[in-house]
Chains A and B, each alone.
Chain A
Amino acid sequence: MDFDIPRIPLGDWIESGLDFLTTEFSGVTRAISRGTQTGINLLNDGLMWVPEWALIALVTLLCWRVGGRRLAIGALLGLALIWNLGLWNPMIQTLTLVVIATLIAIVIALPLGILAAISDRFYRVIMPILDFMQTMPAFVYLIPAIPFFGIGSVSGIFATVIFSMPPAIRFTTLGIRQVPKDLIEAADAYGSTRSQKLIKVQLPLSLPTLMGGINQTIMLALSMVVIAAMIGANGLGSEVWRAIQRLRPGEGFEAGIAVVIMAMLLDRLTQSLSGGKKKQ
């Protein structure tokens, strides 16, 4: 080729942008970091304080109540296996990260989802951003997380929130937009204000869809939390990571199976929770 088109320094721009953010907002990021770390420690310590058998019994009971006998037996056997393999503590650490990341994701996603449902303009702006967030390879989020929050679990949570939030936003928007038009008309015809319509009609009716979104968010959070071990997040992910570095396939699979058990339990549990709401 004769043309010598200069390479666009896209990477440089992004880096200087990130540098700018890290230096200018270091106070903010440090505060977030400290707050999140405190949350992680509290929840982790709390879960660790409960004896293993008691937590297993509690989860089994919960599964039995909301999901039936089969789910309860599955929970009992699965959790007992994790305990037996000596993966209890990493499992609790992973659970902590998933719970905190999901909570943060929902708190951010719910208002954004509602806004996107109400405003067409906001919808058009946010949808491509969500596409971007979801299709960008998950690993990439790990890199800027480090300058923001340093190596460790907080960075892991930051990356996890970004990766797992889109479905919660999408499903909230979808749920609200799916509410039948005649019900909206009925709410309007009787003189509902916008917030009355939202609270009394749109949100309750979009609950099943919304729970589906939360289920997706939890699943994505779990997968990301494992990957986040690469930047120092604790838990089952770091067990897998260590097994890779030492070339120990047996240990890797043990930790992997523990992740699978967690995923199945969380999935079935949230699904039966949302299903129960629908029947009411």
Chain B
Amino acid sequence: MTDTQQTKIQVRNLSKVFGDDPKKALKLRDEGLNRAQILEKTGQTLGLSNINFDVREGELLVIMGLSGSGKSTLIRCLNRLIEPTEGDIIIGGENIPQLNDKALLHCRRRHFSMVFQNFALFPHRTVQMNAEYGLEIRGIAKGERAEKAKNSLKQVGLEGWEHAYPSQLSGGMQQRVGLARALANDSSVLLMDEAFSALDPLIRRDMQQELIELQHRMKKTTIFITHDLDEALNIGDRIILLRDGEIVQIGTPEEVLTRPADDYVARFTEGVDRSRVVTARRVMRPVRATARHDDGPRTVLRKMSENSLDSIYVVDRERKLLGIVEADSVDEAAKAGKDSIQEIVSTDFPHIGPDESLATLYPMFQGKSFPVAVIDDEQRLLGVVVKGAVLEQLAQTGEH
């Protein structure tokens, strides 16, 4: 994710106190007391304290923390299912905590769709009617909302189930209905509260994958709450780590994993399978030398000996990767008096995209002596990965 993206939601100094004298609790917090001390002194719980972050347009932002960390409170403060005690939440020029009832209603209808942990489908409504709910209460005409709901049901793969009732569906399918209900509404932000936590692990993986694909296709700004770090690392563009109602770290999955902000985050990440998260870009090394496709065999041989290489990548003028040549065949070509290496360029070499994980990368080394080339979408050579670097990364599991 780049920094040039537009900000969708700004959250500033957001705090939430559960209790009857929140001002007192916040004053104690400002005096430096922690959550436990405030609870002991006032009997009030500091649910969220001084939360600041931005949500970028089109990103999938994961808010992750253990139970009691305040993540559910945080997502509910955004659409004011829970009233924040202080702070600003700015979306589309409006400051949500300051909206009156009517404006809040409009804001919820326009900006937020929510998917719930236990699905929260209306049991007395069919799948179709559930998907239509958001549109129905906005007063959208029957034909239009039926069509939109049908489309979104199609997107989540529930075509043909329109007339079933939620109780007739499996858990995974029920959550698809929940997702369809949110998508049909065409709001600008999707809030997902532990949306996959109630599903069994296999279905959960599938749903995560589908969410990623859906999200990339639709570019829908999504805020996803989870207590599961694997899930957060798997689907998040960025991750916010919460502890005791405070933000501990904000960063990409890789940053969280490789540069944990403190011991708390580090302990979290200990059990994680790094091979799934660390990308080829992170372990690749720059290419020491490349051959040009119009170089003669002798030039290429010299480049190889200067850099002590057994083989060398061949690129064109735009640094697009054409293939690889080995020292033996270049030597033969030179002896045969050829003035170009074009005939001996081999296109049979391992390569990989920069955002692929080590889990994909590792098997490529089986029985091959070549390094793996890392190339971008336009075939440009970004770097190489050697077996040693991969092994080194994998060996770091549990350390930081």
**Do A201 and B105 have beta carbons less than 8 Å apart?**
no
**Contact A191 B116, CB 8 Å, known A201-B122, A205-B124:** no
Shortest beta-carbon distance, B338 to chain A, in Å? 71
Interface 9-residue window, one of A97-105, A135-143, A181-189: A181-189
A201 vs B134: C-alpha distance in the bound complex, in angstroms?
Answer: 13
Please, how many angstroms separate the alpha-carbon atoms of A196 and B338 in the complex?
83
In the complex, the answer to whether B114 meets A186 with C-beta atoms within 8 Å is yes
Residues of A contacting B118 in the complex (Cβ-Cβ under 8 angstroms)? 182
From B113, B117, B123, contact of A190 by CB (8 A) = B113
Contact of B108 (CB < 8 Å), options: A182, A183, A190, A196? A190
Check B133 against A183 for contact (C-beta < 8 Å): no
- Residues of A within 8 Å of B137, CB to CB, are 190-193, 196, 200
A150 at the interface (CB under 8 A from B): no
Interface residues of B in 156-185 (CB under 8 A from A): 181, 185
Q: Establish whether residues B185 and A190, one from each chain, have CB atoms under 8 Å apart when the complex forms.
A: yes
Which residues of chain B come closer than 8 Å to A280, judged between CB atoms?
A: 124
Within 89-107 of B, Cβ neighbours of A (below 8 Å) are at 105-107
Q: Which partner residue on chain B sits nearest A183 by CB separation? A: B120
Contact between B114 and A191 (Cβ–Cβ < 8 Å)?
A: no
Do A185 and B120 touch across chains, with their CB atoms under 8 A apart?
A: yes
B124 touches A189 (CB 8 A): no
The residues of B that contact A205 with a CB separation of less than 8 Å are 122-124
Q: Is A204 an interface residue (CB 8 A)?
A: yes
Of B79, B105, B117, B133, the residue contacting A193 (CB under 8 A) is: B105
* Contact B122 A183, beta carbon cutoff 8 Å: yes
Question: Are B105 and A191 within 8 A (Cβ)?
Answer: yes
Task: Give chain A nearest CB distance to B318 CB in angstroms.
Answer: 50
Q: Which residues of A contact B114 (CB under 8 A)?
A: 185-186, 189-190
The CA of A233 and the CA of B16, in the complex, are separated in Å by: 62
Instruction: Give the residue of A185, A193, A196, A201 whose beta carbon is less than 8 angstroms from that of B81.
Output: A185
CB pair B105 A189 closer than 8 Å: no
Partner among A182, A185, A190, A204 whose Cβ is within 8 Å of the Cβ of B133: A190
Q: How far is the CA of A205 from the CA of B124 in the complex (A)?
A: 7
Question: A200: which B residues are within 8 A, CB to CB?
Answer: 122, 133, 136-137
What is the bound-complex CA distance between A183 and B136, given in angstroms?
16
B190 to A: closest C-beta gap in Å? 11
Is B23 close to A, CB under 8 A? no
Provide the residues of chain B in CB contact with A189, threshold 8 Å.
79, 81, 108, 112-114, 191
Chain A proximity of B91: nearest CB distance (Å): 14
Measured between beta carbons, the chain B residues less than 8 angstroms from A188 are 81, 108
Docked Cα-Cα span, A189 to B122, in Å, equals 13
Contact with B along A193-207 (1 / 0, CB 8 A): 100100011001100
**In the bound complex, do residue B109 and residue A191 qualify as a contact, i.e. CB atoms below 8 Å apart?**
yes
Known: A193-B137, A196-B137. A186 touches B109 (CB 8 A): no
B152 to chain A, nearest CB (A): 14
> How far is the CB of A198 from the nearest CB of chain B, in Å?
12
Docked complex Cα distance between A280 and B123 (Å)? 10
What string of 1s and 0s marks CB contacts (under 8 Å) between B125-165 and chain A? 00000000110111000000000000000000000000000
CB neighbours of A190 from chain B (8 A): 108-109, 113-114, 133-134, 137, 181, 185
A189 to B116, CA, bound (A): 10
Least Cβ–Cβ distance between A32 and chain B, in angstroms: 37
CB distance from B392 to the nearest CB of A (A): 47
Taken together as a complex, chains A and B put the C-alpha atoms of A54 and B138 apart, in Å, by 49
Question: Chain B nearest CB: distance from A168 CB in Å?
Answer: 21
How far is A243 from B112 in the complex, measured between Cα atoms in Å? 70
Question: Would A185 and B116 count as touching, CB distance under 8 A?
Answer: yes
- Minimum distance in angstroms from A28 CB to a CB of chain B: 38
Which residues of the other chain, A, contact B123 by a CB distance below 8 angstroms? 205
For residue A185, which residues in chain B have a CB less than 8 angstroms away from its CB? Answer: 81, 114, 116, 120
Residues of A within 8 A of B124 (CB): 204-205, 280
In chain A between 143 and 185, which residues have their CB closer than 8 angstroms to a CB of chain B?
180, 182-183, 185
Nearest A residue (CB) for B113: A190
If A185-B81, A185-B116 touch, whether A191 touches B108 (CB-CB below 8 Å) is yes
| B181 neighbours in A (Cβ, 8 Å) | 190
Closest to B102 in A: A193
CB-defined contacts of A191 to chain B, threshold 8 Å: 105-109, 134, 137-138
Contacts of B109 in A (CB 8 A): 190-191
Minimal beta-carbon separation of B109 from chain A (angstroms) = 4
Besides A189-B113, A189-B114, A190-B137, 13 new A-B residue pairs in contact (Cβ under 8 A), listed by A number: A182-B116, A182-B117, A182-B118, A185-B114, A186-B114, A188-B81, A189-B81, A190-B113, A191-B106, A191-B137, A200-B133, A201-B122, A204-B124
Listed from nearest, the 7 A-B pairs whose CB atoms lie closest are: A191-B109, A191-B108, A186-B120, A189-B114, A182-B120, A190-B134, A204-B124
Binding site for A on B (CB under 8 A): 79, 81, 105-109, 112-114, 116-118, 120-124, 133-134, 136-138, 181, 185, 191
**CB-defined A-B contacts under 8 Å, sample of 16:** A182-B118, A185-B114, A185-B116, A185-B120, A188-B108, A189-B112, A189-B114, A190-B108, A190-B113, A190-B114, A190-B137, A190-B185, A191-B106, A193-B105, A200-B133, A200-B137
